[in-house]
Amino acid sequence: MRSFRLFSAALIAVLMCITSVAQEVASKKHKIKSLYFSWGYNEEWYTNSTIHVDQNAIGNYYKLLNAEAHDHKGWDEKGLIFNKALTIPQYNYRLGFYINEKQDLAIELNFDHTKYIIANEQTIRLKGTLNNRAVDTNIVFSEANGNYYFLNNGANFFLFNLVKRWGLYTSKSNNLRLDFMGKAGIGPLVPHVQNSFFGMANDPHFQIGGWNTGVETVVRATFLKYAYLEFSQKADYARYSGLRIANGTVHQNFATYELILSLGMFLPTSKHNALFAPGNMAGTN
């Protein structure tokens, strides 16, 4: 957990440094005029995935075909958010800054703490080599049989996004604004890997374990210029590789569909902020 927090802190620090440098070098005309940050919670649905298990040292090289997985929301459990840390449920944050005078293009660090669990007690086809013998059979993948597979402290999607904003509506008082946004990006995966295959459990750990790419659409409502609520849907494709298990590694890939609800705040860096100027908004009354 400590290494994961340090990695997250380092990424945030790098983005803040980029922001600082950009503000120094940008001309007055194109000065960055607002940062934003949001925090929220999410729900996921995953495509089925084939898990490739490589334990050549002990004579195992096989595939678990078409495995079904689910998330673990956490935020829907009674009293959890109020009695435990905010980072226990599936959560997400966004940290970004606008990069043009019109304030409709942004660069963003986009993180989703998603949980991925291979469903217990499901029948999975196992094909390959097991104990140096060719196999092609169905097994019951269950904890009772010494099998489990969790990215439960996070499948953990990091993305560096390019963001485009389109204004939909601004009230006459400028205290209510509706925007639609599109996002696209790519970044590393930092999963927490915990599993057991036929009773051989790994040492649970965080690691950089592949890459992912995603697209996101967002409807954002901004109140009193600085606070906002946004609802997002996101599609992500993740390729995990070199995930360490007992006596070997695994790799897999899957797609994810997410629904996300977040609260956020703008942090303007100048007295005049083009983001809040009605003249820059489509659909202004």
What is the amino acid identity at position 22? A
Give the least confident one: 69-73, 269-273, 278-282: 278-282
* Distance, CA of 117 to CA of 255 (rounded, Å): 14
Residues 51 and 64: beta-carbon distance below 8 Å: yes
Give the least confident one: 97-106, 184-193, 271-280: 271-280
Residues 32 and 269: beta-carbon distance below 8 Å: yes
In the chain, at which residue ranges do the beta strands (DSSP E only) sit?
34-46, 49-55, 60-67, 69-70, 91-98, 105-112, 116-118, 122-130, 133-141, 148-151, 157-170, 176-188, 192-197, 200-201, 205-206, 210-223, 227-245, 248-268
The owner of tokens 């639609």 is: 180
Average pLDDT along the chain: 86
**Using one digit for the tens of pLDDT, what is the confidence trace for 118-140?**
999 999 999 999 999 999 999 99
For residue 258, being part of any structural domain is answered with yes
First CA to last CA distance, the chain? 49
How sure is the predictor about 33, in pLDDT bands with cuts at 50, 70 and 90?
A: low
* Distance, CA of 236 to CA of 114 (rounded, Å): 11
For residue 31, being part of any structural domain is answered with yes
For residue 54, being part of any structural domain is answered with yes
Residues 65 and 118: beta-carbon distance below 8 Å: no
**Using one digit for the tens of pLDDT, what is the confidence trace for 237-279?**
999 999 999 999 999 999 999 999 999 999 866 554 545 554 4
Q: What's the number of domains the chain is made of? A: 1
Cβ-based burial of 46 (10 A; exposed 0-12, middle 13-18, buried ≥19): buried
Angle at 215 between CA 209 and CA 218, to 5 degrees: 130
Nearest alpha carbon to residue 139 among 70, 50, 64: 64
Nearest alpha carbon to residue 117 among 86, 153, 84: 153
Q: Which CATH number fits the domain that encloses residue 237? A: 2.40.160.20
With 90 as the cut, is the pLDDT of residue 88 above it?
A: no
What range does the domain containing 240 cover? 2-280
For residue 285, being part of any structural domain is answered with no
